[in-house]
Structure 1
Amino acid sequence: MLVAILSDIHGNIEALEAVWQDMAPLPVDRIVSLGDVVGYGPNPEEAVFSVREHDVLCCMGNHELGIVNATERAWFNSTAQKGLGLTASLLSSASLAYINALPRFVCLAGARFVHGFPPDSVTTYLFSVDDEALESWFARGEALTFVGHTHELGLACWTGTEVERRDLGRENFMLDGRPCIVNAGSVGQPRDGNNNAKYLLWNTQTGRIEVRFVPYDIERTVAKIRERGFPDYYATRLW
């Protein structure tokens, strides 16, 4: 089975549509989203509709949690809180109901998919977790976990004696059975120094993972962010 893994779309419909176009000729069997379909970007309603239209298996991100649970918004800074309020105002009742029902993690083909850190955190960043905590998770016996939230591509593996971490680029690599966590980066707002939309392809039979980089119309997204009154920082950091 070929699984496409997306994360942190963040209401960026131009980036998402570019990913769909890139994916179209590929023999993808299932698509999984690691959360934060909404937030920051100017088209949250369209992004949710598109994810549902493509039958994406989706878990909850911290921005979805902030939308449906007002007490969770205290976790965000003042700029993000403003953005969340505007995002919520652009969502239909059907999209709000969909978001509210999202699970904190999903499992498919023996892998776990969670926004922040396993087993079910939507707010914990992988880079904030020390090696001791990673070793503790790996000791639980789950071989493969996919996370998002950081907007950066990365890999953390257990060698049998220590934790190894590295960044990922435009590459293919093979899983070798060691316990590992793969960070899928971001479709709609990368923070790794490259402004292309990013997503992963995972071949569940061979263990091969491909990191895909997809260009999109950033200027159009930037213009809509400003037109719709989102904080300008959300526009400038797309570059």
Structure 2
Amino acid sequence: MRIAILSDIHGNIAALDAVLSDIVRRDVDRIVNLGDIMSGPLFPCAVADRLMPLGLPTIRGNHERQLLTQHPDRMGASDRHAHDMLEPRHREWMADLPEQLWLADDVLMVHGAPGDDLCYWLESIDPPGLRPATAQEVEGRAGGVTAPLILCGHTHIPRIHHRPGGGLIVNPGSVGLPAYDDVHPVPHRVETGTPDARYAIATRTDRGWQATLIALPYDHETAARAAESRGRADWAAALRTGRV
């Protein structure tokens, strides 16, 4: 089995279309989506309309949860833009998405980490910033969950982690947003250093699961200009450079 893994599209229809076109030529059996689909100052409805007819195995991320549960006045700018654009049919689709999903007996889909959609599972945040998590930290955040293959997103950092006791955790990176900054729990930056769209492919082999991280150039300038037109110079810079 070959699984194409998408996560953190964040309303970037140009990046999503480029990734879906690239997947077609790679002979995959399934495409999965790990959430944070529409939030951002770009094209949330277009992304939802592209994905909904495909019926992909999809889970909700923290931004879907926030869009469904937070009052608009308490939302950040990215969620508020999506909130104001989405139609009832998009909200119904979101509401039906599970928080996590077993794709098969040996494949688990989560957004952050098992039971926590805000967890930086494969990274740790220490002053002055982000670093790869240690094996001990990763296991401490796993909540005792084991599986030969676990797929996670949220951090936008592409990473493949081999668990000491066996098993693979794969974060494909972000389809639509290659960099951002945040202040929780301490100020930090997340940067991939390029504007590329990111996804991954996991392959079941006789020796277990293996994964490949893919960085794909696309028309990021269109997305950057859309962000600028909506007053989000921070997103425009991130989309153009992969840095903040």
Q: Secondary structure at the match of 1:125?
A: coil
Q: Secondary structure at the match of 2:48?
A: helix
Q: Given residue 209 of structure 1, which amino acid in structure 2 is its aligned partner?
A: A
State the Cα deviation string for residues 144-187 of structure 1 (Å, max 9, x = none): 21111110011333324xxxxxxxxxxxxxxxxx1232111110
Q: CA deviation at 1:72?
A: 10
What is residue 70 of structure 1 aligned with on the other side?
70
State the Cα deviation string for residues 85-112 of structure 1 (Å, max 9, x = none): 1111111110011112211111113111
> Would you say the 8 A contact 1:86–1:230 is kept in 2?
no
> Would you say the 8 A contact 2:7–2:35 is kept in 1?
yes
Q: Distance in 1 between matches of 2:192 and 2:73?
A: 26
> In the alignment, does 2:120 pair up with 1:116?
no
Structure 2, unaligned runs of 5 or more: 125-132, 179-190
Q: Given residue 12 of structure 2, which amino acid in structure 1 is its aligned partner?
A: N
State the Cα deviation string for residues 28-59 of structure 1 (Å, max 9, x = none): 22111110111124111111111222221110
CA distance change for structure 1 residues 140 and 14 in 2, over 3 Å: closer, same or farther?
A: closer
Q: CA deviation at 1:15?
A: 0.3
Q: 1:131-170 alignment to 2 at 5 Å?
A: 131-136=135-140, 137=142, 140-160=145-165
Q: 1:64-103 alignment to 2 at 5 Å?
A: 64-70=64-70, 81-103=76-98
State the Cα deviation string for residues 180-202 of structure 1 (Å, max 9, x = none): 32111110012311221111111
TM-score normalised to structure 1 length: 0.82
> Would you say the 8 A contact 2:72–2:83 is kept in 1?
no
> Would you say the 8 A contact 1:150–1:185 is kept in 2?
yes
> In the alignment, does 2:99 pair up with 1:104?
yes
CA distance change for structure 1 residues 188 and 93 in 2, over 3 Å: closer, same or farther?
A: same
> Would you say the 8 A contact 1:34–1:114 is kept in 2?
yes
Q: CA deviation at 1:131?
A: 4.5
Structure 1, unaligned runs of 5 or more: 75-79, 161-177
> Would you say the 8 A contact 1:31–1:55 is kept in 2?
no
Q: Secondary structure at the match of 2:76?
A: helix
Q: Distance in 2 between matches of 1:28 and 1:51?
A: 17
> In the alignment, does 2:225 pair up with 1:223?
yes
What is residue 237 of structure 2 aligned with on the other side?
236
Q: Given residue 139 of structure 2, which amino acid in structure 1 is its aligned partner?
A: E
CA distance change for structure 1 residues 33 and 41 in 2, over 3 Å: closer, same or farther?
A: farther
What is residue 185 of structure 1 aligned with on the other side?
173
Q: Secondary structure at the match of 1:107?
A: strand
Q: CA deviation at 1:60?
A: 0.7
Q: Secondary structure at the match of 1:204?
A: strand
Q: Compute the RMSD of aligned alpha carbons.
A: 2.2
Bigger RCO of structures 1 and 2 (CA < 8 A, at least 6 apart): 1
> Would you say the 8 A contact 2:40–2:81 is kept in 1?
no
The percentage of counterpart residues that share the same residue type is: 30
